[in-house]
Amino acid sequence: MKKLGLSVATAIALSLVGMHAVHAQNAPKAFDGLYGQLGIGYENVSPSFGNSGINALGGYYPFSTNIESTNSFAGTITAGYMFPVSKSFLLGFGAEFSPFESETSNYTISINGLGTARGT
């Protein structure tokens, strides 16, 4: 799936470069034309829940939660093209590819008297 997304983004970028060369002959304005962006960062996700309880099956069941934090790199490659529709309006099309997958996290919910649920 990543390779397909990268191939599509590359094909779009290359076709837009050709379109930009033709459009450049028509004296473009300051913000119309081809654009690209590279971004990289680091993310830290630390979810938390306020523990309370559940009223179910004729009783009150307090529960506790445990969720693991995740840390990972984040990045994006973006390409697109903007063209003028009128004197004061630009219309743009773009594609974005994110080469890094997000991390998964495990969680546990323990409900006294009912059991435990685990998941990712």
Lowest-confidence pick of 5-19, 34-48, 61-75: 5-19
| Reported confidence tier of residue 26, pLDDT bands at 50, 70, 90 | low
- Write out pLDDT tens, residues 42-89: 888 887 776 677 777 787 878 788 888 888 888 999 999 998 888 888
Q: How many residues does the chain have?
A: 120
User: Residue 100's domain spans which residues?
Assistant: 2-119
End-to-end CA distance of the chain: give it in Å, rounded: 22
Cβ–Cβ under 8 Å, residues 81 and 22? no
- What CA–CA distance (Å, rounded) separates 90 from 23? 14
